[in-house]
Structure 1
Amino acid sequence: MRRRQFMTLLGGAAALPLAAHAQQPTKKIPKIGVLWHAASAEEEKEYLEILTKAFSDLGYVEGKNVEFLHRFPAEQADRFRALAKELVESKVDIAVGVTAKCAIELKQATSTIPIVFVIVPDPVRYGLVESLAHPGGNATGLSLMSVDLSGKRLGLLREAVPSLSRVALLADPKDPIAPGFFSASLNAGKALGLFVRSVEVPTPDAVEPAFSTIAQDGFDGAVVIGSMMFNERARVGASALAHRMPTLTTVGEMVQYGLLMSYGQDFPDYFRKAAGYVDKILKGAKPADLPVEQPTHFKQIVNLKAAKSLGLTIPPSLLVTADEVIE
């Protein structure tokens, strides 16, 4: 064989692997849609940072091997619906619904795209799953026991405020969790010999007037719950202190803003576990086969700074059982 012919053949052979490589399709990176409840990333900062880190710890890097589509409906019913539909039309590979409202709208928008819910009190009652052990559809995630802890919370508040006799329950009536919260707390209060009344707080601007009203009506304690109250945590805390109202919440991340204490699920851990569900599903698991996880640990936080402002002395028994004490 002549040298020129040999070199031509050799050059063609060398080019084959390059050509084959060039023709290989680019690997599709998964799209993860996240439907929050507040109006912006800033309002969701605490949990958004935790969720982002949880995915990072699992090896997911934005723009490299995953694409995140975060949506913020600002607690507006029509926005929840529209943004859920938008995520489905964006053909996300999986959707995360942070609250019950989010999960319900996502479930109504799709029966095929996998859904992981994070903060849902009763996923069976909301029709998200067939049962906790066997979800059976396209959704799974984590379940709360917020309503079931109503008696425990009222008991803790009375331990912190020995003279407690009248308790106001503050929540947005549009929140799916509100009816069950009101009902269970009223029954628990009756069993504890406390007068308990529900107070609807339908908008952020209604937060301060609600605290003003219950203070004028002689209430000596309050319990707040729901996603809108979390969004307005700074306003809730400031109002509680301004009207000298010892206030308990279900969400630990609210306490530092001026609330007296919290008792409830470890929500940061919930977001980390939600990322784990997403990871399993992206790797081939089916939501129908992944049991809904229920809480095994409840976090108690006591704010001594708020107690001092309210003129309260927190008993040692509460400090001993607290997971965290804010000095």
Structure 2
Amino acid sequence: MKRREFIAGTAALLVPPSHLHAQTKPRRMGFLGVWTDEPARDPVHAAWLSGLREKGWIEGKNLLVEYRYAPDRLPALAAELVALIPDVLVAPGPQAAQALKSATSTIPIVFVAVADPLGLDIVPSLSRPSGNITGLATMVPDDFGAKRLEILRELVPSALKIALLVNPNNPMHRLNFGEFLSRTAQRLGVALLTVEATTAEELDVGFASAAAQHADAVLDLGDSLTFFQAPRIVALAAKHHLPTSYLFRRCADLGGLIVYGPDFADLYRRAAGYVDKILRGTKPADLPVEQPSKFDLVINLKTAKALGLTVPASLLIRADEVIE
């Protein structure tokens, strides 16, 4: 090998990944969401962008992103994104994952925050997803929902009737929460009732219904609707004086009583790593579906006091954060 060629080749190996990205044609990503919010108010979106930047991908420079949002037009928007022939597609949540999987069997898809991709038949196996789709699940052992109910009852020991806030359009809510929660409720001596909401306006109706049925507390099963409408549901819980357990960390920051759930910011940051690997040539089938490794138990003492609740020491000791 000639000395000049050797030096040029060695120099190329020393160029940082982000620099290499900048010298090549920008890659294209399609992002199919159900709801949207201002990125500045969305710590999960900020974590997603941070994860991409850590891998050398800068939106608008070496990564061009096509965003599509609409809870009632997912199949059409999925087809629209596929027609653009992006290098990778991203699906936050089960509805988006199902829509994109139905729209293409060739373009790589990374899903995020799908509780049970096996139960929804999105992948045949967590360790061997096969096909063109993989990602990060929120699925944990079957007792996760039961544990949320137990924690809520521990915080509100007088609760004999608990309302489940569900979105009937969320396939995960239909799939398996009912069975596990019913078994735990029976063991705890708690009656469960269901209130439904598919839109922001229906959240008002749902909380009013829970209050009218004399619910002692509410368990928000959590999905894209309640994530982006967190200020609304926290305000509704306060209005109706209903102790409410949430899935998303941001709810506690907004005044929600208690949160127990996966660290979604961590999931989205890790999903950015999957996108990076696929853009570098790894096949989705070679990337096992990962599950959450971090969970948040956050208690808002100010809200507990406003509701007349005394937080037991057993919960305070286990909490990752106590907001005073």
Q: TM-score range by the shorter chain?
A: 0.7 to 0.9
Alignment partner, residue 315 of structure 1:
312
Match of 2:6 in 1: none
Per-residue Cα deviation, 1:26-45 (whole angstroms, up to 9, x for no partner): 83221111112204545973
Check if 1:111 corresponds to 2:105.
yes
> C-alpha displacement at 1:167, in angstroms?
0.5
Rounded Cα–Cα distance in structure 1 between residues aligned with 2:36 and 2:61: 27
Deviates more, 1:114-123 or 1:220-229: 220-229
2:40–2:46 CA contact under 8 A, matched in 1: no
Question: How far 1:203 moved relative to its partner?
Answer: 2.4
What does 1:182-197 align with in structure 2 at a 5 Å threshold? 182-197=178-193
Higher relative contact order (CA 8 A, sep 6+): 2
How far 1:308 moved relative to its partner?
1.5
> How large is the Cα RMSD of the aligned pairs?
1.7
* AA aligned opposite 2:50: K
Kindly provide the amino acid, as one letter, of the partner of residue 119 in structure 2: R
Instruction: Note if contact 2:34-2:69 (Cα within 8 Å) is conserved in structure 1.
Output: yes
Deviation at 1:201, TM superposition (A): 1.8
Determine the structure 2 residue equivalent to 1:282.
279
In the alignment, the residues of structure 2 paired with residue 71 and residue 45 of structure 1 have an alpha-carbon distance, to the nearest angstrom, of 17
Give the conservation status (yes or no) of the 8 Å contact 1:38–1:44: no
Show structure 2 runs of 5+ residues with no match: 1-22
Partner residue, 1:124: 118
The structure having more radius of gyration, on CA atoms, is 1
TM-score normalized by structure 2? 0.87
The change in CA–CA distance for 1:261 and 1:93 in structure 2 (over 3 A counts) is same
Aligned to 1:173, the other structure's residue is in SS state coil
User: Partners in 1 of 2:166 and 2:302 — Cα distance?
Assistant: 24
Amino acid of the residue matched to residue 273 of structure 1?
A: R
Rounded to whole Å, the distance in 2 between the matches of 1:90 and 1:261 is 42
**Aligned twin of 2:46:** 49
| Structure 1 consecutive aligned stretches of length 4 or more whose deviation exceeds 6 Å | none
In the TM superposition, residue 101 of structure 1 has moved relative to its aligned partner by 0.5
User: Which residue identity is paired with 2:203?
Assistant: V
1:1-327 to 2 correspondences below 5 Å: 27-41=24-38, 45-73=42-70, 75-76=71-72, 79-145=73-139, 148-179=143-174, 180-224=176-220, 225-327=222-324
Contact 1:157 1:248 in 2 (8 A): yes
Distance (Å, rounded) in 2 between the aligned partners of 1:63 and 1:296 = 31
Counterpart position of 1:18: none
- Partners in 2 of 1:145 and 1:63 — Cα distance? 33
Say which SS state the counterpart of residue 284 (structure 1) adopts: coil
8 Å CA contact retained: 1:29, 1:65: yes
Contact kept, 8 Å, 2:39 with 2:46, in 1: the verdict is no
Secondary structure at the counterpart of residue 171 of structure 2: coil
CA separation of 1:118/1:62 partners in 2, compared to 1, >3 Å: closer, same or farther?
same
Contact in 2 for aligned 1:171/1:229 (Cα 8 Å): no
Verify the 8 A CA contact 1:36 1:102 in the aligned structure 2: yes
Tell me the residue number matched to 1:3.
none
- C-alpha distance in structure 2 between counterparts of 1:299 and 1:40, whole Å: 22
TM-score (norm 1): 0.87
Rounded Cα–Cα distance in structure 2 between residues aligned with 1:320 and 1:142: 29
Q: Are the aligned partners of 1:129 and 1:139 in contact in 2 as well (CA < 8 Å)?
A: yes
The alignment partner of 2:52 has SS state of helix
- Aligned residue type for 1:267: F
- Partners of 1:202 and 1:104 lie apart in 2 by 18
Partner Cα distance (1:97, 1:41) in 2: 18
SS in 2 for 1:212: helix
Residue pair 1:40, 1:72 contacting (<8 A) in 2 also = no
Gap regions ≥5 residues in structure 1: 1-25
Distance in 2, Cα, partners of 1:125 & 1:252: 25
1:258: Cα distance to partner?
Answer: 2.9
Per the TM alignment, residue 152 of structure 1 is displaced from its structure 2 partner at its CA by 0.5
